[in-house]
Chains A and B, each alone.
Chain A
Amino acid sequence: MVAATTLIGPAAETFERLFAREYRRVVSIAYRITADAGEAEDVAQEVFVRLARSPRLPDEALPYWLYRAAAHAALNAVRARKRRALRERREFLLLQSLRAAGEHSADPQALLQREQGRAAVRAALLRLNARDAEVLALRYGGLSYAELAGVLQIPPAQVGMRLARAERAFKKEIERDTSR
C-alpha cells in the first residue's frame, strides 16, 4: 500500500504518466453514461483528483480502479442532474418525441443519435441495475474482455454473460420507454 501522494509528490511523473495514459479512456467510460463530453470530463477529473488526494492507494490495479470509479461517478452525476428541477418534465417531452421518431424509423442508430435519444439513454441507464450500467459503460468505453474481467473481478469466461445480460436489459428499458 502506497500513499497516493507519494505517487504524486516525489515521483510527480508517475501520476502525470498515469494521467496521460488513462485520462482519455476514463473520459470515454464516463461519456457512455453522461452522453455529454463536458460532463464526462468533469467526472474524469473528479476521479483523478480523488485518487490524488486519497491517503491510500486502492488495493487493486490503478487503471481498474479508475475505470470503475469513473462509471460510478458518472452514474452519480447523472442521478444528481436528474434531481434538478424540470428534469422530469423535459424527459417526458423527450420521450414523446422519441416515440414519434420511433414510429418512423426502425433503425435504432438514426433514432438514438439524436439529442433526445441521448436523454433516453441516460434515463434508461439510471433505471438499470448499477452493475449492468457499469458493464455497459466499461465495454462501450473501450475495455477489452480481459480488462473487463479485471475491473469487474470476475473470471474472463463470465464477461460475455454479464455483458449480454446488461445489453438485453438496456434494450428492454429503451423499448419500454419508446413504446409507452
Chain B
Amino acid sequence: MTHPGSGELRRAIDEPGHAPEVLAHASECDQCGTELERLRADAGFCAAALEGAVAPDAESAYRRVHSRAIQPAAFANFARPAAALAAAAAIVLALVLTPLGGYARSFLTVFEPKQFEAVQVSRADLRHLRILPQAEEVGTQRIVTKMTHTRYVSFASAQKHAGFAVRRPGVLPAGFGTVHDYMTMTPSEMTFTFNAAKARAFEKRSHKTLPPMPPGLDGTTVRVRTGYALESSFQSRASKEQSLVIVQAQAPRVTSTGASLDTLERYLLSMPNVSPELARRIRALGDIQNTVPVPVIIDKQTARQVQVDGAQGLAIGDNTGLGAGVMWQKNGIVYVVAGPLKMDQVLEVANGLR
C-alpha cells in the first residue's frame, strides 16, 4: 500500500476499525509508524487539555431559554376568541393573507382587494366547499417564497421588523391589553398551474365528474404574492383565550399568466358542490377583481357596510353577541380588527389606529 496521509493516520487512532489496513501498514513502515506516534502524542496532549465532562441540567436550562426566547403569552395566543366572528375573520385571513388551501385561494381570485363584500353562505355550503377536490388534483402548487412568522412582545421591536409603516390602537377597550403580542409575517409567493391531465386522472380515480377546463385554462399559472403583515393581539383580562386582534397587511396581488379572471371564476364556480345559489351570489358581487367575498353564515352573523378609518369597510357582528369585527383597505393596506366586543367598541379601536 502507498503511505497513508496524516489525516488517514489520525483517523485510524480514533476509529481503528474504519481502515485497519492503515494501522497494519504503520506497524511495518518506519516512516508511517513514526508519524502515527507523533499524531498519537498530539492527540493525547489535546485530549488531556480539552477533555472533561459537563453535566448541565437541561430541564432548568430549557425553562430559562424558553422564557427569554418567547414570552408565555405567545403560546396562549394560539387560542383565538371563541366568537363566531373570529372564525369569519380567520377565513378572510386564510383566503386573503395566507396561501392556504389552494381551492379557496383560486376560488376567490382577487387581483388587489380594495373592498369587502359579505356573501351569505349556509352551513351546508361551507361543508360542501370543504369536500371540493384538492387543488393538487387539478393542478400543481409550488411555494416560491415561504412566509416566515416572528413573534415579538413589544410594538417597538415588531415595528422595526414589520416591513411597512404599521399602526397601533390609540386606546384599548377596558379589560384588554394586559399582554401584548405581535407577529410579523414576511412576503410570500406561490404559484398554481392548472393541469387538465391531472383533473382527468382525478375523475377516473374518484369516479367524480369535474367541469371541463375552459379553453386556455390548462397550463395557466396563477401567482399569489402576499406582502408584509403584522398581527397584534391584546389579551383580555377576563380570559386568556380571548383577544382583540388587529391585522394589517400589505394587500396581496394575484396574477394569471393565461386565463382571465372571468374564466377562472367560471371554472371554479362550476365545480361540483358549489351550490348554484352560492355561485349566483358570488357572481352578483360584480367587481370581483377588487372585491373580497367574505363568507357570512346565514342566521349566525350579520354584515353591513360601514365607514371606518376614512374608508369603506365591512362590519360583521355575531348575532349571539359574542364578538364583532371590521375589515377595510386603505392606502394599499388591508386591516382587520376583531374581538369579543360590541360592534361600536371594535369600530372605536379601528377608527383610533394611529
Contact = CB atoms under 8 A, between A and B. Distances in A.
A141 to B, nearest CB: 9
B186 A55 contact: yes
B127 interface: no
B2 to A, nearest CB: 15
Given A2-B146, A159-B7, A19 B65 contact: yes
Given A109-B48, A159-B11, A161-B7, A5 B150 contact: yes
Nearest to B148: A3
A56 B187 CA distance: 13
A87 interface: no
B51 A140 contact: yes
Interface string B36-71: 000100111111111110111010011011101110
B5 interface: yes
B148 A112 contact: no
B31 to A, nearest CB: 16
Contacts of A160: 5-11
A34 to B, nearest CB: 10
Interface string B150-162: 1100000000010
B328 to A, nearest CB: 28
A5 B78 contact: no
Contacts of B47: 140
A80 interface: no
B6 A40 contact: no
B15 interface: yes
B186 to A, nearest CB: 7
B interface majority secondary structure: helix
Interface string A32-62: 1001010011001100110011011000000
Contacts, number: 141
B48 A27 contact: no
A171 B45 contact: yes
B49 A112 contact: yes
Interface in A161-180: 161-165, 167-168, 170-171, 174
Contact of A23 (B18, B58, B150): B58
Interface in A132-172: 136-137, 140, 145, 157-165, 167-168, 170-171
B352 to A, nearest CB: 29
A117 B65 contact: no
A88 interface: no
Contact of A55 (B9, B43, B64, B161): B161
B11 A167 contact: no
B102 to A, nearest CB: 20
A5 B70 CA distance: 9
Contact of A10 (B18, B62, B65, B78): B78
> What is the size category of the interface that chain A forms with chain B?
35 or more
B49 A117 contact: yes
A1 interface: yes
Contacts of A1: 146, 148
Contact of B6 (A121, A137, A164): A164
Given A6-B149, A40-B54, A55-B148, A113 B7 contact: no
A165 B268 CA distance: 65
A8 interface: yes
A27 B56 contact: yes
Contact of A48 (B69, B146, B147, B186): B69
A158 B56 CA distance: 32
Contacts of B150: 3-5, 53, 55
Interface in B148-178: 148-151, 161
Contact of B70 (A6, A8, A10, A164): A8
Contacts of B15: 145
A25 to B, nearest CB: 10
B65 A52 contact: yes
A16 B66 CA distance: 9
B45 A136 contact: no
B56 A161 contact: no
Given A45-B65, A117-B49, A170-B46, A24 B58 contact: yes
Nearest to B22: A160
B210 interface: no
B74 interface: yes
A108 B51 contact: no
Interface of B: 5-11, 14-15, 18, 39, 42-52, 54-56, 58, 61-62, 64-66, 68-70, 74-75, 78, 146-151, 161, 184, 186
12 contacts: A8-B69, A9-B70, A9-B78, A31-B52, A37-B54, A40-B56, A49-B69, A136-B50, A145-B11, A163-B7, A164-B39, A170-B46
The 10 closest A-B pairs by CB, nearest first: A161-B7, A52-B69, A160-B7, A3-B148, A160-B11, A160-B10, A140-B50, A109-B48, A164-B10, A167-B42
Given A55-B148, A164-B39, A167-B46, 4 more contacts: A40-B56, A53-B150, A170-B46, A174-B45
